Amino acid sequence: MKSTMLLAALLVPCVTPAATPPASHPFDVRDLVMMDRVSDPQLSPDGKRLAYQVRTTDYAANKGVNGIWLLDLAARDAKPVRLVDPGILPGSSPRWSPDGRYVYFLGKMKGAETTQVLRVRAEANAAPEPILPYPYEINNFKLSPDGKRVLLSIDVFPECAEQLCTTRPPVADIGEKASGRLYDKLFVRHWDSWADGRRSQLYIVDIDEAAPGQSFLKRPRLLSKGIDGDIPSKPFGDDAEYAFSPDGKTVYFDVRIAGRDEPWSTNFDIYAVPADGSAPPRNLTAANPAWDSTPVPAADGKTLYYLAMKRPGFEADRFAVMALDLASGRTRELDPQWDRSAGGLQLSRSGKVLYTTADDNGDRALFAIDVASGKVARLTGPGQVEGFSAGADRIVYAQSNLKAPADLFRIDARGGKPEQLTRLNAERLAKVRMGDYEFFTFAGAEGATVQGYVVKPVDFESGRKYPVAFLIHGGPQGAMTNEFHYRWNPQTYAGAGFAVVTINFHGSTGYGQAFTDSISGDWGGKPLEDLKLGWAAALQKYAFLDGDRACALGASYGGYMIYWIAGNWPQPWKCLVDHDGVFDTRMMGYATEELWFSRWENRGTPWEQPENYEKFNPLDHVKDWRAPMLVIHGEKDFRIPLEQGLAAFTALQWRGIPSEFLTFPDENHWVLKPQNSVLWHDTVNAWLRKWTAP
């Protein structure tokens, strides 16, 4: 055992990408990690230019780096121009000045220790310039409608937030080497970070034009005074969670007040505060004890649009699109007839249409909502919309699918045929071969229509049978959609010679809220039945699937299902792969950080409803485990802590079941670093080949 661990440790640094991929080779993880990733498209105020972010991979440094590009949409056959070179100055979050002269962004100038708001003229070869480099890290920002002020999110200690204190002086008479941290409430840790006492607070600053080409910011003023919460929310919140009114006199933001119940509360509210700080923030949505988010003011300033859930404590409830009359305080739901959960919101220039994204029958599509009637129209075809920007008569969006990483497209605001604007990975894609895919449906648990898809192996030949990778998605309120995923990409298995089958079982998103709700309290019930019926349907429909040479793989809830399958449906599987899965649902109820999740899914706390936590607990079925299993777990995973994976591996070893354990000291619930991703895929594919070999 020790020699195996030592060998693995010695091998890790040796993982390298192919120097020059050969012409037309099967797609694999080395292609995956080197793909350029486009995101955050931003149309200029006149709609004639487009700024966007591209992440490239520095494999030697084991990280991705972001640059900012500009595309002239008015010029025929225009080529993208790099505004911010990641090799010189990494930059992210491009935002236009109201006059269209500048693109503001987040970056770190050479020699600077913190990320700042910078800007660059929207033209080729322009030099980025800082806006007074502050000694504190800027999380995100938003410009005012007139471009004279900017909102900043900064992590500070609440007791001295007005003084912008981002560090706390050491306690006297203890010494500098004491490492203990004392907590009196949760979150003690969240996602992948231990709490240090700081909160993300919202500030506003004025921009003074001191001289041509130079801009200086005055001292930031605290707008979120008295707010015990993070703006935007952690760990994934962004500038969509706060906004200026059209006249710039009011700022809206959403926040969850922490107190002592933050880890089991989903009660976000939307607040309004004068931009000059003359009055404290005022709660506009206190009547709703569930999640209110993403404020978007109407062009006339009289209405505030936002997203709202209805059920407190449920993170996967449907997000409805709401309209708040700011004069009367009355609210109405714009889209009560639309059984989808809306994503981010953008208002059309006319103010008559709201644009949003939502999961929809295996896709994530772009939709238009008529403000007056609430009528919803889907604007985009098959694929995964990963960001969009709405102009006066055109919308630009990023979209991927199962055979293509995201590129940028332009479409008429009313829909129609899209125009492809970029082909970022054309050269790389020309050198790889991928498997074709097909969606299918079948009668699942309780006779419900359930959707899945298959991906054929690369170089598929009719009449042959192929080993199968059976992928199980996480969430559990999520879906395996028509997207080019950078962690669970079916093409990496197809390139290795496997067919892929996946099922969007009860609990998946994009098929109506009742279908999403159905998994809560039933983790090992209808979802397992769907997986069994889906597997049988796939075997019947696709003769090339070799049911005698198949392995099941999953992460997060999918990892839970792998542990559950091990004791409740082990027969078809030659092997299993579990990534960051829940092994003990009872301990998960105490050890995870976002406690609202386990409480909702099990209809109460572990001491209130212990029988619910034990009903579908994989821990109780270890005696029935038989299949060889690879267990993978990140050491910085605080959502499903490392001990869950270690306990499962202990059970496997104790029972003498062939098993391996792969851990990453520097990864959280996901595997994000390029070299770690290569090691992950190489280890997983080697495990699959070992147990599915003829």
Q: CATH number for the domain including 409? A: 2.120.10.30
pTM of the model: 0.94
Q: Say yes or no to pLDDT of 7 above 80.
A: no
CA–CA separation, 534 and 521 (whole Å): 21
Active-site residue, selected from the candidate residues 97, 265, 389, 556: 556
Amino acid 86: pLDDT: 86
Residues 536 and 578 in one domain: yes
| Both structure tokens of 567 | 């004791």
pLDDT value at residue 254: 98
SS (H, E, C) 520-532: CCCCCCHHHHHHH
* Average pLDDT of the residues of the chain: 93
The reported pLDDT for the residue numbered 50 is 97
Together in a domain, 400 and 454: no
Query: Does residue 567 surpass a pLDDT of 70?
Result: yes
Pair 554, 534 in one domain: yes
What integer pLDDT is reported at residue 177 of this predicted model?
Answer: 81
The mean pLDDT value for 18-45 works out to 88
pLDDT cut 70: percent of the chain above it: 94
- Report the candidate in 527, 523, 516, 561 with the shortest Cα–Cα distance to residue 360: 516
Distance CA 535, CA 503 (A): 8
> How many whole angstroms separate alpha carbon 448 and alpha carbon 60?
49
User: Whose CA is closest to 435, among 452, 412, 460, 458?
Assistant: 458
Of 391, 414, 430, the residue that ends a domain is 430
45: left (phi over 0), alpha (psi -120 to 50) or beta: alpha
Choose among 113, 108, 216, 196: nearest CA to 156: 196
52 strand-pairing partners: 69
Of 407, 430, 453, the position where a domain reaches its end is 430
Supply the pLDDT for residue 414: 83
Clarify whether residues 387 and 479 are in a common domain.
no
Q: Specify if 459 maps to a domain.
A: yes
Buried b (16+ CB within 10 A) or exposed e, 244-277: bbeebebbbbbbbebeeebbbbbbbbbbbbebeb
548 plus 412 within the same structural domain: no
- Average pLDDT of the residues in 551-570: 98
- From residue 191, alpha-carbon distances to 194, 586, 600, 632 in Å are 9, 19, 19, 17
Q: How far apart are CA 642 and CA 650, in angstroms?
A: 12
Q: What is the mean pLDDT of residues 176-195?
A: 93
**Is residue 595 within 8 Å of 606, Cβ to Cβ?**
no
Q: Taking CA 276 as the corner, what is the angle to CA 273 and CA 277, rounded to the nearest 5 degrees?
A: 55
pLDDT at residue 11 is higher than 50: no
> Are residues 302 and 246 in contact, defined by beta-carbon separation less than 8 angstroms?
no
Quick one: CA dihedral 99, 100, 101, 107, positive or negative?
positive
Look at 10-19, 228-237, 265-274, 303-312 and tell me which has the smallest mean pLDDT: 10-19
Largest Cα separation within the chain, whole Å, is 78
171, amino acid identity: V
Task: Inform me whether the pLDDT recorded for 2 exceeds 50.
Answer: no
Residue 85 resides in a domain: no
pLDDT category, 23, cuts 50, 70, 90?
low
Among 121-125, 386-390, 573-577, 655-659, whose mean pLDDT is lowest? 121-125
* Statement to judge: residues 388 and 471 lie in one domain: no
Contact assessment for residue 206 and residue 217, using Cβ atoms and an 8 Å cutoff:
yes
Alpha carbon distance 154, 222 (integer Å): 10
Give CA torsion, residues 303, 306, 312, 313, to 10 deg.
-160
Q: Which of 144, 508, 637, 677 is catalytic?
A: 637
Side-chain-side CA neighbours of residue 627 (13 Å): 31
Tell me: the pLDDT tens digits for 597-644?
999 999 999 999 999 999 999 999 999 999 999 999 999 999 999 999
426 and 503: one domain?
no
Residue/partner pairs of 543-548 with CB below 8 Å, 24 or more apart: 543/465, 544/456, 544/460, 544/462, 544/464, 544/465, 544/466, 544/499, 545/454, 545/465, 545/466, 545/468, 545/499, 545/501, 546/465, 546/466, 546/467, 546/468, 546/499, 547/468, 547/572, 548/574
Q: Are residues 643 and 554 in the same domain?
A: yes
Residue that is last in its domain, among 430, 465, 499: 430
Q: Is the pLDDT of residue 392 over 90?
A: no
User: Does residue 672 sit within a domain?
Assistant: yes
- pLDDT (tens digit per residue) in 147-174: 999 999 999 999 999 999 998 766 667 7
Domain membership of residue 90 (yes or no) is no
Pairing of strands 575-579, 545-555: parallel
Q: Is residue 669 annotated as part of the catalytic site, yes or no?
A: yes
Do 629 and 576 meet the contact criterion of CB atoms below 8 Å apart? yes
Identity at 585, one-letter amino acid code: T
Domain with 509, as residue range(s), is: 433-692
In total, how many domains does the chain have? 2
3-state helix, strand and coil shares in percent for the chain, rounded to the nearest 5: 20, 35, 45
Q: Is residue 138 part of a domain?
A: no
- 461-464 long-range contacts (CB < 8 A, ≥24 apart) are 462/544, 464/544
Give me the pLDDT at residue 209, please: 55
Q: Are 373 and 354 in contact (CB under 8 A)?
A: no
Per the document, the length of the chain is 694
Q: In the annotation, is 637 catalytic?
A: yes
Cβ–Cβ under 8 Å, residues 614 and 586: yes
Same domain? For 651 and 602 the reply is yes
Helices 526-541 and 557-568, interaxial angle, to 10°? 80
Res. 189: pLDDT tops 80: yes
Burial class (CB in 10 A: 0-12, 13-18, 19+), 210: exposed
CB 236 within 8 A of CB 290: no
How far is Cα 70 from Cα 83, in angstroms, rounded to an integer? 6
Question: Residue 109 has what pLDDT?
Answer: 87
Q: What is the 8-class DSSP label of residue 142?
A: E
Q: Tell whether 687 and 572 lie within a shared domain.
A: yes
- pLDDT tens by residue, 222-271: 999 999 999 999 999 999 999 999 999 999 999 999 999 999 999 999 99
Task: Give residue 263's pLDDT.
Answer: 97
CA 523 from centre of chain? 22
Measured CA to CA in angstroms, residue 497 lies from 132, 155, 402 at distances of: 54, 48, 17
What's the rounded mean pLDDT across residues 344-355? 95
Instruction: Map residue 360 onto helix, strand or coil.
Output: strand
Confidence at residue 15, expressed as pLDDT on a 0 to 100 scale: 36
Cα distance between residue 516 and residue 66, in whole Å: 35
Alpha-carbon gap, residue 224 to 280, rounded angstroms: 8
Give me the pLDDT at residue 175, please: 72
**619 within some domain:** yes
Q: Which residues contact 168 (CB under 8 A, 6 or more apart)?
A: 157, 197
The answer to whether residue 301 scores a pLDDT higher than 70 is yes
From 506, 579, 633, 669, the catalytic residue: 669
Arithmetic mean of pLDDT, 394-422: 95
412 is catalytic: no
In a domain, 500, yes or no: yes
Task: Return the CATH number at 594.
Answer: 3.40.50.1820
Nearest to 345 by CA among 355, 336, 335: 355
Q: Say yes or no: 645 and 577 in one domain.
A: yes
553/642 same-domain check: yes
What is the C-alpha to C-alpha distance for residues 105 and 128, in angstroms, rounded to an integer? 10
Is residue 451 in some structural domain? Answer: yes
What pLDDT does residue 467 have? 98
Query: What does the block give as tokens for 65?
Result: 């780096």
